[in-house]
Amino acid sequence: MIGRREFITLLGGAAVSWPVAARAQQAERMRRIAVLSSLAADDPQSQRRMTAFVQGLQQFGWTDGRNVTIETRWGAGDSERLRRYAAELVAFAPDVILAVTVSSMVPLQQATHTVPIVFVQVTDAVGAGFVESLSRPGGNATGFSLISEYGFSAKWLELLKEIAPRMTRAGVLRDPSNPSGIGLLAAIQGAAPALDVEVSPLGVRDVGEIERVIAAFAQRPNGALILVPTALTVINRQLIINLAARHRLPAIYPYRYFVEAGGLMSYGANEIDQYRLAAGYVDRILKGEKPADIPVAQPTKFELVINLKTAKALGLEVPPSLLARADEVIE
């Protein structure tokens, strides 16, 4: 049996511990994460990306509304809107910003040199001036490269020639305002003579140009398309896939979801993985690490996906050797 004195002592201890626990909970500061995406909010791929990022954060103990606040802006391929949103998010005073693609990184780098930034799907972070080197970024940004090197894009041309051996012309569909497209185009042009292919850059700056440029390119025979990933081409992917089908142009894309939507073939890194991994970089920064000291990560595995139904519609017979190398075949 507990005596009166012991009871008072126990009660007094509880009275002291309760406020301490309450103060500890109140002292846990709500952290702020900003996200600037070059895509539209209603794009299904945008939602898949954000789901992967949020789930990744939860694995590290960060939950939106509990110990972090996530503020997101969607540029929908509009460069002026991205500049405005970049300024808004910096004014939000976040602990870290997730930048989706080069289109988001450019205005963010102009808006701040101090707020930590983790980027995803950036082609050449060094060449674009986002980091000093891949191993030691040196500034306020780090993240994940879309490719391991520019020479990677030559593989797109090689795969196209393999699935469409009669191809003699390749149109490289890209947004000329995006700096990453220059190096990718140069690598494709460098590989073209050995494959006996004439390469034509197809610059598009808006939706209207996409239709006009592809229609003009398709007027001559034995052509094929290579799509360089930019906000404009990704947002208008269904239009591009439909135009390639209408003009009977074999085409290769950087992401598997193009093939799921009816495109012929894709070759590239798993972009959804980058968002899960980016959550880990955000966690490290929230726990005190500096972007300057976190190396930029490069993909080590690339996926080849082929749509057999589209190949058949284009009158192409996929070589067995190519099918054997495919990571996924859609029928």
pLDDT at 3 over 80: no
> What pLDDT is recorded for position 2?
44
Domains contained in the chain, CATH given: 30-146+270-293 (3.40.50.2300), 150-268+303-330 (3.40.50.2300)
* 161 CB-near residues (< 8 Å, 6+ apart): 167, 195, 197
> What pLDDT is recorded for position 148?
67
Q: Which amino acid is at 180?
A: S
Angle at 216 between CA 212 and CA 222, to 5 degrees: 135
pLDDT at 11 over 50: no
pTM of the model: 0.86
pLDDT at 43 over 90: yes
83-107 confidence digits (pLDDT tens): 999 999 999 999 999 999 999 999 9
pLDDT at 19 over 50: no
168 vs 14, which has greater pLDDT?
168
Residue 27: pLDDT band with limits 50, 70, 90? very low
Q: Which amino acid is at 258?
A: F
163-189 confidence digits (pLDDT tens): 999 999 999 999 888 776 788 899 999
pLDDT at 26 over 50: no
> What pLDDT is recorded for position 123?
85
pLDDT at 219 over 90: yes
Mean pLDDT, the chain, integer: 90
Which residues are bridge partners to 202 per DSSP? Answer: 173
Task: Name the nearest CA neighbour of 201 among 179, 233, 176, 221.
Answer: 176
Residue 28: pLDDT band with limits 50, 70, 90? low
